[in-house]
Amino acid sequence: MLAMVASDSTRAAGAEIENDELIRKAAAGDQAAARAFFEQHHRSVHAFLWRMLNPRASRAVVEELTQDTFLRAFAALPEFEIAGPARVSSWLLTIATRVALNELRRLHRKPDATVNVELVGIPGGDAPDEPSRRRALAALVERAVAALAPDQRAVLVLREYHDRSLEEIATTLDLPIGTVQSRLARARAALRETLKGVDR
């Protein structure tokens, strides 16, 4: 079940080739390079913020927070160490994580901890076609992820959707690796509990 959470496109992002020259030019204020940098990383940052904030934020709010992430990134880009241990994509997700957690704190209302399987109906009667079944299941998983506590959700989204290693997640969230492991285990257990009655 959890294997279905990760998308092929976001897993491919882990294998991206960093363009050092593009980063240098964008950091120096080159507008064309800045646009190219934004276009290269926009999809991953937007997807992360959407998964962190859905269903409590609209697409317009998620896009606004994506823009805020890049504004912060461009302000800090001259300090980014190209030869350092962090990939620029991981560095961006660190900024996006802070933006998302700040927004969740601002909203400060506890998310609904229950997911009603009946509300995510699978169309097509007794024998739905596979694409419809997968869409319905994906919607249910999305709602289950949204019901997680923010700290668990951040770890799960970085690991399952963005294919980050435990070490990268620990760096991104500034946590001991043991804390990352325990939060990930609790998040996975919560998903399994929520989805245990779903026909795979």
Quick check: is 163 in a domain? Answer: yes
Quick check: is 168 in a domain? Answer: yes
Looking at per-residue pLDDT, the higher value among 194 and 92 belongs to: 92
Alpha-carbon distances, residue 180 vs 105, 125, 176 (angstroms): 20, 41, 7
Residue with tokens 């998964």: 51
pLDDT tens digits along 114-145: 444 444 444 444 445 678 777 777 788 888 88
Which of 187, 194, 178, 115 is CA-nearest to residue 155?
187
Residue-range definition of the domain harbouring residue 78: 2-195
Sign of CA dihedral 52, 191, 144, 139: positive
Quick check: is 179 in a domain? Answer: yes
8 Å CB contact between 13 and 65: no
What HEC string does 44-64 produce?
HHHHHHHHHHCCCCCHHHHHH
Dihedral (Cα; 92, 97, 98, 100), 10-degree rounding: 120
Give CA–CA dist 144/196, Å, rounded.
Answer: 12
Q: What is the pTM of this model?
A: 0.72
Residue 133 main-chain phi, psi, to 5 deg = -60, -40
Quick check: is 155 in a domain? Answer: yes
> What is the total count of domains within the chain?
1
b/e sequence 105-140, b meaning 16+ C-beta within 10 Å: eeeeeeeeeebebeebebeeeeeeeeeebeebbeeb
- The whole-number average pLDDT for the span 162-189 is 94
Binned at pLDDT 50, 70 and 90, residue 18 comes out as low
Binned at pLDDT 50, 70 and 90, residue 108 comes out as low
- Between 44-48, 56-60, 92-96, 99-103, the lowest mean confidence (pLDDT) is in 56-60
Express as a percent the part of the chain with pLDDT over 70. Answer: 78
Quick check: is 70 in a domain? Answer: yes
CATH number at residue 42: 1.10.1740.10
The string of DSSP codes covering 80-133 is: --TTSSS-HHHHHHHHHHHHHHHHHHHH-PPPP----GGGS--SSTTS--HHHH
Quick check: is 200 in a domain? Answer: no
